[in-house]
Amino acid sequence: MTHASPPDEPPATPESAADTLTMLRAMAARGLLRQGTLARGGMATIDAVIDPVLERRMAMKVISPALSDDAAAVAYFVREAHITGQLDHPNIVPVHQLGVNDAGQPWFTMKLVEGETLEARVVRRLRRPAEPLDPGELFDLVGVLIKVCEALEMAHARGVIHCDLKPLNVMVGDYGQVYLMDWGIARLVTPASITDDPGNTVENPVSTYVPDLPIDGVMGTPAYMAPEQAEAGALDERTDVFALGGLLYFVLTGLAPFEHPDPMEAMRRAHRVRCTPVEELAPETPRGLVRIVERAMSRDPTARYPDIGTLRAALQRHLRGEGAFPEVTVARGEHVVVEGDAADAAYVIVRGRCQVYTRREGRHSRVGELGPGDVFGETAILAESTRTASVVADCDTVLLRVTAEHWEQALTDMRPWLRAFVRALATRFKEQLDRTAGGAQPRPSERLNLALMYLTTWGVDDADGSVTLPWAAFAARMQRDHAVPERALAIGLSSIEGLEIDAARDRVTLCEPRRALDRLRRRLVDDLCVDDL
C-alpha cells in the first residue's frame, strides 16, 4: 500500500479496451490516496483515503507504530478486521481490505461513516435547557438500539459476541444509518441454541486464523459491562444483552450505568450491578422502558432476556404500544370494578364476558354486557371521578389492566391541546352519564352526538376517508347503552349530510366524518334539537 497525492492532470480518455486496462493498472499502482487523519488513539490511527480506481472514499485504520512488534496487539488488530469482514449486515461497517504497509504496520479499510456517535447525540440533547425527553426523539433513539440489536442478532447466530457495547461504538449516520463499530475484543462462542440442542448447527459460522487469545484480566468498558465480564467469568450472548440494557439506560438518563472516574470503582459497581434506578434520574421515563432496562440488566444471566432477539422484540412492542399492560384473570361472579369506588385503572376484555349494572334506590339495574375487545373504566380516570357503574365477570374472564399511570403517561406524550380536548370530552361524557343516572334525559342533539362519536371512534376506515360499521350491532349498542330505539336512531341520523344507512347490507357509512362532527358541534352550541330522536 502506498499513499499518494492526486495527479495534477486527469488520465487520458481511453480509446480501446487495451487503453482502459492500461489506465486501470496505472491507477491501481498509485495505491490509496490519503486525505488526512480523522482520529488518533493509543492503539491506532484512522485516516480518510480514496481508492483511485473506484473513486470511493473510505476510512483506513492503521495500528500504532509503537505496537507493530507487540504480538498480542497485532493479533487483536488483525482479528478485528478478519471477524468484522465476515459479518455482512446493514448495521455493521463493511471491511474492504486488510494488509501491511512498508513500515510493517497492519491496516484495514472500511466504509467511512459520516455522522455522530450515539454518545454525541445523547450528550447534545442534554446540553439543551432541562426538559423532558421529547416522545418523538425517544422513539428515534430506541429505534437506533433496535438496529444495534439486529446487528448483534446476526453476529450471535454466527457465533460472535461483541463484548464492548457502549455509546461510543454506535455510529448514527447523517441519513439515518446505524452502525455497530469496534469488534476488537469480540469473542467466538457456541450460540446458546446450539448448546441447548446439539442437533442444531451454526449456519456459516465466523472463523479466524487468529484464534481466541488468552485473556489476562478483564477486557471491555467497566461502565457498561456485565457482572460476569467484570469478574472475568464465562461469557455468552446474554453478556451483550446486559450491555444493550446499559445502552438503553444511557439513552434514558444520559449516564453510563456504572459511571465513575475511577475505573476500578466502576468495575466494582459492574460486578455488584450497583447503579441509580432510572426513575430517580429520569422520572418521566415510560414504565415499559424501565422494565426492559431492569430485566436486561439483571445480575443473574438466567433472569435476563434469553437472547438479543427477544430483547429486540420487547423494544419493538414498546414502540408499537403492545405488551405494556399486565393481564388479570377475574373468576365468574367477581367484581372487576364497583360503582362509587375511586378509579385506578381501565380494562380491555381479552377473553370472556362481563355484565354491567348500576344500583338505584336499592335495586340493581342491568345496563349492558361487554365482550372481547370492549373497554371500560377509562372515563372515570380521564375525568378524575369515581366509578359510575359496577362490572362483574359473567364467566372466568381475562382482561388487560391499563393503570392510571399508563393513562397519565399517554396524556403526557400528547400535544398539550390534544390532552386538554381528551380530558374535556371525558368530563362532559361523565356529566352526561350523571344527568342520565339522575333521571334527566339528554337532549336529542346530545344523543345524536354520542352516536356520531361511537361511529367515528369504532368505525372501520375506508380508502375514501369514510367510516363504516355494521348497522344492526351499532343500533343495538345505542339502544342498550343510551335507550335510543333503532327507528329513532335512523331518523335522527338521516339529518346528517353524508351519512347512509343500508339495512339490507347491514352497514352504516359516514362520509367526511370531520365535517359531520363540526356541523353537529355548531348545532349543540345553538342548542338545536333533532325531531324524533
Active-site residue set: 164
14 vs 348, higher pLDDT: 348
Residue 525 has a pLDDT of 45
Give 480-510 pLDDT, tens digit per residue: 777 778 887 888 787 777 888 888 888 989 8
Residue 31, phi-psi category: left (phi > 0), alpha (psi -120 to 50), beta (remainder): left
The DSSP element (H or E) to which 50 belongs, if any, is strand 44-51
Q: How far is CA 206 from CA 61, 75, 93, 188, 501, in A?
A: 22, 17, 16, 8, 64
Full DSSP string of 209-220: SSPPPPP-S--S
Interacting residues of 160 by C-beta distance below 8 A, sequence separation 6+: 83, 87, 183, 186, 187, 188, 189, 206
Could you read off the pLDDT of 168-184 as tens digits, one per residue? 999 998 888 999 999 98
Nearest residue to 55 via CA among 93, 123, 6? 6
Give me the domains of the chain, ranges plus CATH numbers.
Answer: 17-111 (3.30.200.20), 115-320 (1.10.510.10), 325-440 (2.60.120.10), 441-533 (1.10.10)
For the chain, give the mean pLDDT: 82
Please provide the size of the chain in residues: 533
Interval 335-357: pLDDT, tens: 999 988 888 888 988 899 999 88
Contacts of 112 (CB under 8 A, 6+ apart): 48, 57, 58, 59
Question: Could you tell me the sign of the dihedral formed by the alpha carbons of 55, 59, 65, 69, in that order?
Answer: negative
Output the pLDDT for position 163: 93
pLDDT class of 533 with cuts at 50, 70, 90: very low
Q: What pLDDT is attached to residue 532?
A: 36
pLDDT grade for 360, boundaries at 50, 70 and 90: low
Q: Where are the alpha helices (DSSP H) in 87-215?
A: 118-126, 135-157, 192-196
**230: how many CB neighbours lie within 10 A of its CB?**
20
> What does the pLDDT average to over 100-116?
92
How far is CA 455 from its chain centroid? 31
Task: Determine which helix (DSSP H) or strand (DSSP E) holds 61, and give its type and residue range.
Answer: strand 56-63
| Cell output for 18 | 487495451
Helix (H, G, I), strand (E, B) or coil at 173: strand
Which residue in the block uniquely carries the three cell numbers 479466524? 208
Task: Give the count of beta carbons closer than 10 Å to the beta carbon of residue 379.
Answer: 19
pLDDT at 398: 93
Q: Cα 10 to the chain's mean position, in Å?
A: 50
3-state secondary structure of 497: coil
Residue with grid cell 342520565, as numbered in its chain: 436
Q: For the segment 139-150, what is each residue's pLDDT rounded down to a tens digit?
A: 899 999 999 999
Tens digits of per-residue pLDDT, 297-339? 999 999 999 999 999 999 998 887 655 677 899 999 999 999 8
What confidence tens digit (pLDDT) does each residue in 33-47 have? 889 899 888 889 999
Interval 188-200: pLDDT, tens: 887 654 455 555 5
Specify the pLDDT at position 148.
97
